[in-house]
Amino acid sequence: MTTLLWIILATLVSGVLSVLAAGTFLALPNRQREAVLPHLVSFATGALLGAALLALIPHAVIGAGTGNVHAVGIALIAGIALFFVLEKFLLWRHCHDDHCHEHAVDGPLHEQGHEQGQAPHGHARKHDDARLKASGSLVLIGDALHNVLDGVLIAAAFLTDVHVGLVTAIAIMAHEIPQEVGNFAVLLHSGVKRGRALALNLLTSLTAVIGGIVGYFALETAQSILPFALAVAAASLLYVAVADLIPGLHRKVDPRSSAMQVLLLGAGIAIIAFAETHAH
């Protein structure tokens, strides 16, 4: 199978499976969903760290050569700065935070205000409804752009090595599941029906394929920048793990939850390490 077909297949399967898994997950009763989600986030954190530190960065250094290790480090720092700015503008963070899911459970904002004894005045209700619809549209736009970028990152990994591409796609899919749960929660909270929310999320997941194809042709014609593209891909995974997911894990500090987080985080790293070691 050609590299381009690998990229198309990986981006398609990764995107579709993450959406379907998130849709199934969201169908669980609230109590079960709230119990399982932190474990899923812990595992995804480990998978992201493992893919970045054990697969992408080593291959970036090897590809660039020992004389360009400093340049790879600069690309890594630049990538982290880039994703910091992207998160600011695209509001990625709320897709990883628990309040996405709390909103889906608690109901619309104007209903919450009514339950707390606040009169849902007509003007305030219209304002809240408009804000809810806007949040649904925003999360779809942000998710589509995010998926395009994921596709480019997967393409960069596959152009280096098929096994590195597979490891990267697995790590991104593990991260996408809790994010897609957040997307579903925001859409349902904004008044979108479950079936339509599933269809919209599946549609936005296909933009990863577009990103993969664009990344393939852009990077194949400029092989010299491929190691630095891998460094930026690693920066993306590291940023999401360290800036978005780990702070959420620290919200639970009891010994049992902390021990489970460490075990699942380690399991995510171990699976990536095993896949990378077995591949070589």
Q: Which two tokens stand for residue 36?
A: 């399982």
Q: Mean of the pLDDT values across residues 110-131?
A: 43
Of 107 and 77, the structure prediction assigns the larger pLDDT to 77
Total of domains in the chain: 1
**Residue 119 backbone zone (phi > 0: left; psi -120 to 50: alpha; other: beta):** beta
Q: What is the pLDDT of residue 253?
A: 85
How many whole angstroms separate alpha carbon 173 and alpha carbon 71? Answer: 29
Contacts of 37 (CB under 8 A, 6+ apart): 25, 98, 101, 178, 181
Mean pLDDT of the chain: 79
Q: What is the pLDDT of residue 102?
A: 45
Residue 123 lies in a domain: no
Q: State pLDDT tens for residues 25-79.
A: 777 787 887 788 788 889 888 888 988 999 889 989 998 988 899 999 999 999 9
3-state helix, strand, coil in the chain (%, to 5): 90, 0, 10
Q: What is the pLDDT of residue 138?
A: 65
Residue 118 lies in a domain: no
Residue 171 lies in a domain: yes
Closest among 93, 235, 54 to 178, alpha carbons compared = 93
Instruction: Reply yes or no on whether the pLDDT at 99 is more than 90.
Output: no
Which domain, by its residues, includes 85?
A: 3-110+134-279
Residue 127 lies in a domain: no
How many whole angstroms separate alpha carbon 234 and alpha carbon 53? Answer: 7
Residue 202 lies in a domain: yes
Closest among 145, 149, 146, 140 to 196, alpha carbons compared = 140
For 39, 41, 42, 148, 271, the CA distances from 268, given in Å and listed in that order, are: 11, 10, 8, 24, 5
Q: State pLDDT tens for residues 140-169.
A: 776 787 789 889 989 999 998 998 999 999
Q: What is the pLDDT of residue 91?
A: 52
179 neighbors 31 (Cβ within 8 angstroms) = no
Q: What is the pLDDT of residue 90?
A: 57
Q: What is the pLDDT of residue 136?
A: 62
Residue 154 lies in a domain: yes
Q: Mean of the pLDDT values across residues 2-31?
A: 89
Residue 273 lies in a domain: yes
Residue 115 lies in a domain: no
Closest among 185, 141, 167, 174 to 240, alpha carbons compared = 174
Q: CA angle 47-51-54, nearest 5°? A: 120
| Element holding 35 (H helix, E strand) | helix 30-50
| Element holding 107 (H helix, E strand) | none
Residue 129 confidence class, pLDDT cut points 50, 70, 90: very low
